[in-house]
């Protein structure tokens, strides 16, 4: 008789009351960490930001239900068919035609319910929000050119004249000021390596590739200061690629823009070739 057929597992550990202690500690610590909002993405500050939260919780719910179902399907046979006094353990290797058909049906249902459903919703969100770049000719669109480098963010706004490459262009480093409730459209490129502009509260992230102009946008709906991060490992000082995004009410923004444009015009140096990196707006 084989050792496998005579093996009788002990379930004393499962029945032990001491097993509940580490389990309770694990669940309690998880709940405690969840109370600190810094571990999460925070509340969205852009008009399409809510879509990311809805999709995230949909996926989390579906996967959690699927995980719980799989755990039940694993534990029930283990307990029901285990070797114990008066009952010999039964084994099933899943090689029968019935088992193969059942596996195929479950896989197809899982794909339709989980993968296909999530894919349809994700593509809808991409079309209606993330890929819906606002028209540059729309007077409400605030356009910004972004030039990333190791290790800083360079921003250029057109200023009050609305034209890039003119003396009143507003140039800032690691700080971007935009108006609230207006679409902000980006032209993005890199001076050296691949970077990734990440505005977590705006739910916006886009790569910046050398030699190419990439497009992105968001519409801030909350006034305040937010993070600018780099989501692409870009060298040993990658940690320095952070900045500040300031969202102002339209009236405050108009005052800031007029003052910043005036200062830019006054400080403009036609011989400063390093500062003349503007390009024709791409759509």
Of the three residues 132, 164, 183, the one that is the final residue of a domain is 132
Q: In the prediction, which pLDDT does 79 show?
A: 81
CATH assignment of the domain containing 249: 2.60.40.420
Whether residue 93 is found in the same domain as residue 161: no
Q: In the prediction, which pLDDT does 85 show?
A: 84
Whether residue 127 is found in the same domain as residue 150: no
Of the three residues 78, 110, 132, the one that is the final residue of a domain is 132
Q: In the prediction, which pLDDT does 6 show?
A: 46
Whether residue 147 is found in the same domain as residue 265: yes
> Exposed, middle or buried by CB within 10 Å (0-12, 13-18, 19+), for 270?
exposed
> E strands, 129-283, where?
142-149, 152-157, 170-173, 175-179, 184-190, 195-199, 204-208, 214-218, 224-230, 242-248
Whether residue 76 is found in the same domain as residue 153: no
Residue 188 maps to a domain: yes
| Alpha carbon distance 137, 218 (integer Å) | 16
Task: Determine the structural domain holding residue 68 and report its residue range.
Answer: 64-132
Residue 3 maps to a domain: no
* DSSP 8-state assignment for residue 173: E
Q: In the prediction, which pLDDT does 76 show?
A: 86
pTM: 0.76
* DSSP 8-state assignment for residue 113: I
Q: In the prediction, which pLDDT does 248 show?
A: 97
Whether residue 150 is found in the same domain as residue 253: yes
Residue 50 maps to a domain: no
pLDDT in tens, the chain (283 residues): 444 444 444 545 445 556 667 777 777 776 666 666 666 777 899 999 899 888 888 888 888 888 898 889 888 888 887 778 888 877 777 778 887 888 888 888 888 878 888 888 889 988 988 888 888 888 899 999 999 999 999 999 998 888 888 888 999 999 999 999 999 999 999 999 999 999 999 999 999 999 999 999 999 999 999 999 999 999 999 999 999 999 999 999 999 999 999 998 888 777 777 767 888 898 8
Whether residue 101 is found in the same domain as residue 196: no
| Alpha carbon distance 67, 102 (integer Å) | 18
**Residue bearing tokens 């050296």:** 192
The phi and psi torsions of 176 (rounded to 5 degrees) equal: -130, 130
Number of CB atoms found within 10 A of residue 204's CB: 21
Whether residue 101 is found in the same domain as residue 169: no
Q: In the prediction, which pLDDT does 233 show?
A: 93
Bridge partners of residue 184, in order along the sequence: 142, 218
């Amino acid at each position: 008789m084989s050792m496998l057929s005579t093996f009788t597992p002990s379930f004393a550990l499962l029945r032990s009351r001491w097993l509940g202690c580490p389990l309770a500690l694990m669940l309690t610590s998880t709940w405690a960490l969840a109370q600190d909002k810094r571990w999460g993405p925070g509340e969205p500050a852009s008009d399409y930001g809510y879509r990311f939260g809805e999709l995230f919780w949909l996926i989390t719910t579906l996967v959690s239900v699927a995980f719980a179902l799989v755990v039940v399907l694993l534990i029930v046979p283990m307990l029901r068919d285990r070797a114990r006094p008066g009952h010999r353990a039964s084994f099933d290797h899943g090689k029968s035609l019935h088992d193969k058909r059942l596996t195929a049906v479950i896989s197809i249902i899982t794909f339709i319910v989980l993968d296909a459903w999530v894919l349809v919703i994700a593509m809808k969100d991409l079309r209606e929000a993330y890929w819906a770049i606002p028209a540059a000719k729309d007077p409400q669109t605030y356009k910004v050119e972004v030039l990333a480098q190791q290790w800083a963010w360079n921003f250029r706004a057109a200023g009050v004249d609305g034209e890039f490459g003119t003396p009143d262009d507003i140039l800032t480093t690691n700080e971007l000021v935009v108006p609230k409730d207006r679409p902000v459209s980006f032209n993005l490129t890199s001076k050296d390596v691949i970077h990734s502009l990440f505005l977590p509260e705006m739910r916006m992230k886009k790569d910046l590739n050398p030699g190419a102009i990439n497009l992105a946008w968001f519409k801030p709906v909350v006034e305040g200061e937010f993070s600018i991060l780099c989501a692409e490992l870009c060298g040993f000082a990658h940690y320095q690629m952070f900045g500040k995004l300031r969202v102002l009410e339209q009236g405050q923004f108009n005052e800031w823009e007029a003052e910043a444009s005036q200062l830019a015009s006054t400080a403009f140096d036609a011989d400063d070739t390093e500062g003349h990196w503007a390009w024709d707006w791409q759509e």
